[in-house]
């Protein structure tokens, strides 16, 4: 064999990716890939895949793509979590070697935040925001597709690290100097930085897109104070994305320069300043946790109003508090590194600003409770997640205020108390919110309700599993167990609590299985919803048939009140009764391969830079520029849907008069 092929094999498959379990996964991926290829070819689905999905710019299809990616990543991150709990269940276990344990907790955190939470949120945004504001698509449909394919490219780049070259192992925060070349020469951290930079470009574009969409694309009559709260939350989240991602990109790029080009921004020698990375990372990181939870505040505001059969209590205050949270979230980032020792002035300022955020959040909690008060509550699965969210999030928030007290934080810092706290807010707030939104909007996305009985089983497994997993971890933290610990000796009193925690993780795993079963069962046997409004909803998306036709609204609605669709139903009006004269030609964005090819080109750049293959990276970069320039001169980006076609579609849905 030529020497360079041997060298290539040693580079791509070092000893760290040759564990037996990973080899088994390699085999599974190869067999599965071949099987999928044969299946697609036999059933002639490649053209369908290309035309309907890979080149699509329709926000509803992009939402489905985001959703699939998010659920696959939930599986990957969940497997990582189960492996962590298996390792920690008993003292002195060597289920995994230390290096693999480090890789697993790193990928667990990174995937759950960047490649599960955010795409799931963007799935909901894409599925619902244009429908709720009475628009036919987002402001920039092509950029929307580019965002998805850049995210997908980043996610794939990050996920292949464990079979090719080795995973990153410096935690989801990737603090230097450990991520420097001196301590971490393998390709793992390169994967981390490049994947996050590429996915971050996509996320920033999504932020711009939804900010412009919510500001500019609302139906006539929908003033700012008539927007549903989910639209407010989408707007605020997009603004947070716009401000939060630049510091992250800068910090990641500087770390990457340290690794690839020998600069010294964050190294120990040559005047580098590792703590500056920590500062920049959390300058992004704190707004990021609000990016992860504010959209779900919006979801809960819609769900609680719909299933309490009442208007949301205190709408103006809800808007004000969401804006206050946005503003305050920029001024709290030091609470992630109080123990750096920045001095009492800095620490007190940021401790107080952190406690301040609890006030607008508390206001929101009370408003949700008051919305339910006196309402006729329907205990659907979406509402159950809402009811579970309130106590869970309150306890997570309360332990957050404990962590904001600086002297106490010196004790809690880096212990399992912190782990329990942020899982309490991220699972209790984000995951419960995402699942609530999934059950609530599933009929709109796919045209049939998710089976409620099976959904209830998944809900109780998630809810009970969550508390069994994480309440022991508060106590473990107080007993001195530190985070990122790969094994521990017997006799420290941590044994029983860790066993309980692992049992809880298994219950949550069963919850995930139940959820997937529920989804698959519904896709196969689900009953078609013919009304388009199965929950008796309040906002405009429920005025449309499910699933929604390509052009969304045959006639753009005029909004007269806050809960626009509810108001129309009260007045006996219906968008379902169109007269044929109301239907005109509709300008629609045209499908394009540009976003997909851009993702491919970025993948080439990312993969080549990971292994420092400069010529290939150069070719990939040239491809990126060529695609962007081509896209700039591509004037054939839209087409007109003939009124006749729209009339025919509406008539087949029974929505046309005469």
The site for other proteins (CB under 8 A) is made up of 243, 247, 273-276, 279-280, 283, 330-331, 334, 340-343, 346
**Sign of dihedral through CA atoms 135, 141, 143, 145?**
positive
Decide whether 342 or 390 has the Cβ nearer to other proteins.
342
Decide whether 342 or 402 has the Cβ nearer to other proteins.
342
Q: Give the position of tokens 């990457």.
A: 256
**Sign of dihedral through CA atoms 411, 416, 422, 425?**
negative
Q: In angstroms, what is the minimal distance from the CB of 132 to other proteins?
A: 23
> And the tokens for 145?
């597709």
What is the per-residue DSSP string for 470-518? HHHHHHHHHTTPBTT-----SSSS-HHHHHHHHHHHHHHHHHHHHHHHH
Given a contact cutoff of 8 angstroms between Cβ atoms, the answer to whether 293 and 233 are in contact is no
Q: In angstroms, what is the minimal distance from the CB of 362 to other proteins?
A: 25
Decide whether 92 or 345 has the Cβ nearer to other proteins.
345
Q: In angstroms, what is the minimal distance from the CB of 277 to other proteins?
A: 11
- What gap in Å lies between CA 591 and CA 142, rounded to an integer? 8
Decide whether 81 or 334 has the Cβ nearer to other proteins.
334
As a whole number of Å, the CA-based R_g of the chain is 25
Decide whether 65 or 280 has the Cβ nearer to other proteins.
280
- What gap in Å lies between CA 446 and CA 229, rounded to an integer? 23
Reduce the DSSP state of residue 588 to 3 states and report it: strand
Decide whether 334 or 617 has the Cβ nearer to other proteins.
334
Give bridge partners of residue 587 from the DSSP assignment. Answer: 640
Given a contact cutoff of 8 angstroms between Cβ atoms, the answer to whether 190 and 260 are in contact is yes
Decide whether 50 or 243 has the Cβ nearer to other proteins.
243
Q: In angstroms, what is the minimal distance from the CB of 102 to other proteins?
A: 24
- What gap in Å lies between CA 89 and CA 499, rounded to an integer? 5
Q: In angstroms, what is the minimal distance from the CB of 239 to other proteins?
A: 9
Q: In angstroms, what is the minimal distance from the CB of 279 to other proteins?
A: 6
Give bridge partners of residue 641 from the DSSP assignment. Answer: 586
Neighbours of 258 (CB within 10 A): 24
Q: In angstroms, what is the minimal distance from the CB of 250 to other proteins?
A: 11
- Between the CA of residue 274 and those of 5, 174, 280, 341, 574, what are the distances in Å? 38, 11, 10, 14, 61
- What gap in Å lies between CA 635 and CA 638, rounded to an integer? 8
The conformation of residue 641, written as its DSSP 8-state character, comes to E
- What gap in Å lies between CA 284 and CA 240, rounded to an integer? 9
Give bridge partners of residue 135 from the DSSP assignment. Answer: none
Q: In angstroms, what is the minimal distance from the CB of 651 to other proteins?
A: 39
Q: In angstroms, what is the minimal distance from the CB of 354 to other proteins?
A: 14
Q: In angstroms, what is the minimal distance from the CB of 329 to other proteins?
A: 11
> And the tokens for 600?
């491919």
Q: In angstroms, what is the minimal distance from the CB of 243 to other proteins?
A: 6
Q: In angstroms, what is the minimal distance from the CB of 345 to other proteins?
A: 8
Decide whether 327 or 366 has the Cβ nearer to other proteins.
327
175 in the Ramachandran plot: left (φ > 0), alpha (ψ -120 to 50) or beta? Answer: beta
Decide whether 15 or 270 has the Cβ nearer to other proteins.
270
Q: In angstroms, what is the minimal distance from the CB of 266 to other proteins?
A: 11
Decide whether 205 or 419 has the Cβ nearer to other proteins.
205
Q: In angstroms, what is the minimal distance from the CB of 430 to other proteins?
A: 25
Decide whether 278 or 450 has the Cβ nearer to other proteins.
278
- What gap in Å lies between CA 144 and CA 60, rounded to an integer? 11
Given a contact cutoff of 8 angstroms between Cβ atoms, the answer to whether 416 and 494 are in contact is no
Nearest Cα residue to 538 out of 229, 225, 302? 302
Nearest Cα residue to 553 out of 567, 570, 540, 568? 540
Kindly tell me the burial class for residue 355, based on how many C-beta atoms sit within 10 Å of its own C-beta (0-12, 13-18, 19 or more): middle
> And the tokens for 191?
């994967």
Reduce the DSSP state of residue 413 to 3 states and report it: coil
- What gap in Å lies between CA 622 and CA 265, rounded to an integer? 28
Decide whether 347 or 380 has the Cβ nearer to other proteins.
347
Decide whether 131 or 283 has the Cβ nearer to other proteins.
283
Decide whether 379 or 410 has the Cβ nearer to other proteins.
410
């Amino acid at each position: 064999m030529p020497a360079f092929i041997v060298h290539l094999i040693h580079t791509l498959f070092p000893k760290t990716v040759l564990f037996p379990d990973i080899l088994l996964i390699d085999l599974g991926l190869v067999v599965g890939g071949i099987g999928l290829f044969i299946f697609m070819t036999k059933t002639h689905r490649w053209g369908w895949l290309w035309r309907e999905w890979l080149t699509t710019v329709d926000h509803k299809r992009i939402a489905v793509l985001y959703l699939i990616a998010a659920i696959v990543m939930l599986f990957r991150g969940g497997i990582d979590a189960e492996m962590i709990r298996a390792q920690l269940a008993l003292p002195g276990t060597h289920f995994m070697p230390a290096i693999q344990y480090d890789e697993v907790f790193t990928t667990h955190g990174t995937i759950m935040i960047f490649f599960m939470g955010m795409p799931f949120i963007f799935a909901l945004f894409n599925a619902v925001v244009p429908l709720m504001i009475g628009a036919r698509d987002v402001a920039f449909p092509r950029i929307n597709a580019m965002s998805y394919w850049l995210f997908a490219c980043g996610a794939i780049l990050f996920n292949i690290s464990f079979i090719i070259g080795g995973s990153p192992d410096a935690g989801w925060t990737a603090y230097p100097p450990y991520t420097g070349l001196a301590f971490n020469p393998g390709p793992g951290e390169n994967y981390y930085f490049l994947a996050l930079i590429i996915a971050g470009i996509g996320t920033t574009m999504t932020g711009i897109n939804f900010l412009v969409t919510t500001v500019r694309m609302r139906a006539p009559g929908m003033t700012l104070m008539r927007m549903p709260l989910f639209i407010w939350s989408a707007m605020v989240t997009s603004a947070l994305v716009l401000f939060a991602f630049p510091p992250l990109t800068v910090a990641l790029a500087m770390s990457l320069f340290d690794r690839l080009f020998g600069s010294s921004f964050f190294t120990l020698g040559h005047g580098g300043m590792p703590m500056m990375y920590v500062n920049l990372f959390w300058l992004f990181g704190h707004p990021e946790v609000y990016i992860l939870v504010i959209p779900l505040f919006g979801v809960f505001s819609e769900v609680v109003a719909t299933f309490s059969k009442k208007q949301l209590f205190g709408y103006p205050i809800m808007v004000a508090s969401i804006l206050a949270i946005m503003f305050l979230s920029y001024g709290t980032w030091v609470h992630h590194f109080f123990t750096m020792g920045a001095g009492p002035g800095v620490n007190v300022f940021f401790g107080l600003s952190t406690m301040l955020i609890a006030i607008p959040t508390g206001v929101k909690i009370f408003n949700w409770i008051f919305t339910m008060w006196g309402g006729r509550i329907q205990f659907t699965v979406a509402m159950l997640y809402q009811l579970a969210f309130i106590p869970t999030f309150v306890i997570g928030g309360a332990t957050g205020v404990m962590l904001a007290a600086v002297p106490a934080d010196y004790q809690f810092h880096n212990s399992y108390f912190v782990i329990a706290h942020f899982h309490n807010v991220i699972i209790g707030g984000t995951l419960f919110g995402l699942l609530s939104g999934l059950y609530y909007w599933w009929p709109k996305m796919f045209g049939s309700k998710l089976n409620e009985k099976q959904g209830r089983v998944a809900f109780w497994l998630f809810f009970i599993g969550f508390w069994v997993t994480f309440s022991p971890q508060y106590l473990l933290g107080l007993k001195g167990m530190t985070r990122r610990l790969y094994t521990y000796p017997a006799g420290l009193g941590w044994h029983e609590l860790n066993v309980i925690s692992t049992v809880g993780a298994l219950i949550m795993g069963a919850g995930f299985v139940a959820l997937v079963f529920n989804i698959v069962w519904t896709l196969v046997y689900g009953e078609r919803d013919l009304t388009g409004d199965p929950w008796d909803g309040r906002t405009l998306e429920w005025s449309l048939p499910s699933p929604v036709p390509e052009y969304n609204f045959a006639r753009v609605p005029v909004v007269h009140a806050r809960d626009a669709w509810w108001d129309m139903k009260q007045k006996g009006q219906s968008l379902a009764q169109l007269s044929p004269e109301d239907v005109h030609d509709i300008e629609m964005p045209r499908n394009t391969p540009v976003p997909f090819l851009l993702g491919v080109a970025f993948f080439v750049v990312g993969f080549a830079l990971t292994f420092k293959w400069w010529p290939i990276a150069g070719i990939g970069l040239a491809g990126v520029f060529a695609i962007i320039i081509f896209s700039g001169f591509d004037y054939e980006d839209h087409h007109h849907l003939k009124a006749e076609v729209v009339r025919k579609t509406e008539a087949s849905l029974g929505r046309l008069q005469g």
